[in-house]
Amino acid sequence: MAGGTARARPTPTVAPRGTRRTGRTPVALLVPAILGLLFLVLPLAGLLVRTPWATLPQRLTEPGVLTALRLSVQTATLATLLCLLLGVPLAWLLARVQFPGRQLVRALVTVPLVLPPVVGGLALLLVFGRRGLVGSWLDSTFGVTVPFTTTAVVLAQAFVAMPFLIIAVEGALRGADTRYEEAAATLGAGRWTTFTHVTLPLVAPGIAAGAVLGWARALGEFGATITFAGNYPGRTQTMPVAVYLALETDLEAAIVLSLILLTVSVVILAGLRDRWASAP
């Protein structure tokens, strides 16, 4: 739906990207590219080498594993939705609206990237905890406490994942041709209509990329989760937390859990990619 509108836009003068080839691939690019790939993939090979294949099926069927996996996929998806809901408008604000202190806000958005996740979790406790700035009010007014709940897991994941989405979407917005938006405005469309009918379809691939990044980051989140949400099977024990605790006693179990998480995420991401095959 959204992608269809984006593709229907008038094609610029240059030939479609990726079809032009001039000469052979420069060695100066190829060598570091291959080194980069090795650097990223070798640790995975390290895990595969140590995987206890013989006991793999038996470990896969352990009940705690599926519970943690389900919780991880659910919370990461919810966190991504929360990021989309709040992050896309924020990215739009940063890219399209001039306001004083915009540079500062842009820098503040990246704070969760720099903050060690454990500190992020502590910061969330100090805000949403039972004695936190917002949490104490929630507790006294509604009798609601956030820490140690699945909600806390989603909040922790959204906190660390949102910057990835915002940066991707803001980049897409700034790279997008604003003449379409201007044309829409000239034709009498309000800013909201322009946003939903022109801007969003235009940057849909950027939003998709940001959502994928955010989802992946949320799925792997550990530090903020264990600090803010704690660890309880079925409620707050996500796969990364289960992996960390397995490492305390059983290296092989930790490797198996990591592989399961990796496989599931790769399968899901590859599946989504096929669906969005038209996106660059």
Partner 1 sequence: MTRTRLRTALTALALLVVTGCADDRADPAATGAGNGGELTVFAAASLRESFTRLGQDFEAAQGVRVTFNFAGSSALAAQINQGAPADVFAAAAPANMATVVDAGNSDGEPVTFARNQLVIAVPRGNPDGVTALSDLTKPDAKVAVCAEQVPCGAAARKALDAAGVALTPVTLEQDVRAALNKVRLGEVDAALVYRTDVRAAADDVDGIEFPESTGAVNDYPIVVLKDADHPAAARAFVDHVNSDTGRAVLTAAGFQVP
Please give the residue ranges that form the binding site for partner 1 (CB under 8 A): 26-29, 31-32, 35-36, 39, 125-126, 129-131, 145, 147-148, 226-227, 229-233, 236-237, 241, 244-249, 251
Is the Cα dihedral 131, 227, 218, 236 positive or negative?
A: negative
Nearer to partner 1, 74 or 145 (CB): 145
d(CA 101, CA 249): 50
CB of 243 to partner 1, least distance (A): 11
Q: Is there a contact between 205 and 179 (Cβ–Cβ < 8 Å)? A: no
CB of 62 to partner 1, least distance (A): 14
Nearer to partner 1, 102 or 232 (CB): 232
How far lies 97's CA from each of 101, 103, 131, 191, 206, in Å?
Answer: 11, 12, 36, 11, 19
Nearer to partner 1, 248 or 274 (CB): 248
Nearer to partner 1, 148 or 276 (CB): 148
CB of 147 to partner 1, least distance (A): 5
CB of 122 to partner 1, least distance (A): 8
Residue 163 token pair: 């910057």
CB of 20 to partner 1, least distance (A): 21
d(CA 152, CA 158): 10
Nearer to partner 1, 194 or 236 (CB): 236
d(CA 98, CA 120): 29
Select from 213, 184, 205, 179 the least CA-distant residue to 196. 184
